[in-house]
Structure 1
Amino acid sequence: MKTMIRVARIEKHYQENWGCDGVPCLFGNGPVSDLPSDFTVLKFPPRVGCPAWTFATRCMSQPEDDKPLELHCFSTDDDFGLVELLYITAHYHRTGSDLDMGHTVNFGRPWSPGSPLGFGLVSLPYLDGPRLEIMESTGARFLWLLPISSDEVAFKRAHGLDALEQAMERTSFDYLDPFRPNVI
């Protein structure tokens, strides 16, 4: 029963922030049985204020987590490959190393075929703001998984997250373009 309540709360949090219900996207490849039984990725269509598809984890966070975390990403396309990347990232978070704000994850493949962006940066949900970021009833943080390049990962390691985010702002980078140039 508690699981169903938590599932409903997370889905409601997304719905209240994005104004529509997400559609579950099932993915059956790889070690998905290592993930929580209530985990899935939800897909949200483009909407007023957001011209992109949004893919978001549901129940990547669990009640026993010290720092419960859910992630989302954006795409101009209804791209099932991003469902796979969120499953990969959730698996890493649940079975490898806890992710948190400012961390990076190596996807092991490009964000999109041929893209130079093969890593994800766990970032504040700048496009949606603090209302999305914290879900008071569970304490979960809802953060943005932003695609970045290996050069941008190296820059972040050398100069820090703030310096990378300033470079992103300075260049007005297109977060929806999987073929965008490096910001550094």
Structure 2
Amino acid sequence: MADVLALVEARLRMALGEPDARASVTFLGTDRIEVLRFTDGDVVRYATLGMSATPMTDPTAALADPVRGPRAELVLSVRAGRADTDKVLRALAVLAASPQVEGLVVAPGASLDTGEPLWPGAPFTSVLVAEPGGLVEDLELDEPMDPVHFLPLLPMTPNEAAWKRVHGAAALEERWLARGTDLRDPVRGAVGLD
């Protein structure tokens, strides 16, 4: 079996170009998580590297399978120059470590909450996990391993997160689309939820 993280980094570079910065964070009892930054014009993308090293395990499973199970990395895209978004690195590393630390299986439609602003002054404390396959294609791995999905993260205000809990992820995404919400704007306000 090839080194999963080397293949993941190669896929990120193929899709997003060369990273212009990287940082790593290690939490007690977890593997190292890196966050790579890619700049493309007026958009900055942050991608985790390390979450997919081992499969995510259903917390109700009796034993963790070291080979089979969903694998993912997280990708956040924001407009450059409007906020100090580089401070999001630690928050992304915390979210990427959550499968190891909390036994979460991160999947599309899920909400992930950091409990604090994603970056200084950010109106967002949580993210909605969106469907993979748009920006970075899934990475197929040798059998019997599951493919690595690159999951886009969409920042949510606390009101949007509360509304999503009641109405669901699809309804919130429809509301954003109907209102023409720029989900890459790091200082945007909450979408109208009336």
Q: Please, what TM-score do these two structures have when normalized by structure 2?
A: 0.78
Provide the aligned C-alpha RMSD in A.
Answer: 2.2
Q: Equivalent pairs: percent with the same residue?
A: 27
Residue 154 of structure 1: how far off its partner (Å) = 1.6
CA distance in 1, matches of 2:115, 2:54: 29
> Match of 1:152?
160
1:80 lines up with 2:78 in the alignment: no
**Stretches of 4+ aligned residues off by more than 3 angstroms:** none
> Match of 2:125?
118
Instruction: Flag structure 1 segments of 5+ consecutive residues without an equivalent.
Output: none
Contact 1:123 1:146 in 2 (8 A): yes
> Match of 1:132?
136
Contact 2:34 2:50 in 1 (8 A): yes
Bigger radius of gyration, 1 or 2?
2
Letter in 1 for 2:126: F
> Match of 1:70?
73
1:179 lines up with 2:182 in the alignment: no
Count of residues in Structure 1 that have an aligned counterpart in Structure 2: 172
CA distance in 2, matches of 1:63, 1:180: 35
Instruction: Flag structure 2 segments of 5+ consecutive residues without an equivalent.
Output: 57-68
> Match of 1:41?
35
- Larger RCO: Structure 1 or Structure 2 (Cα < 8 Å, ≥ 6 residues apart)? 2
Structure ranking higher in helix proportion: 1
Q: Please, what TM-score do these two structures have when normalized by structure 1?
A: 0.82
1:86-101 alignment runs, 5 A limit: 86-96=92-102, 97-101=104-108
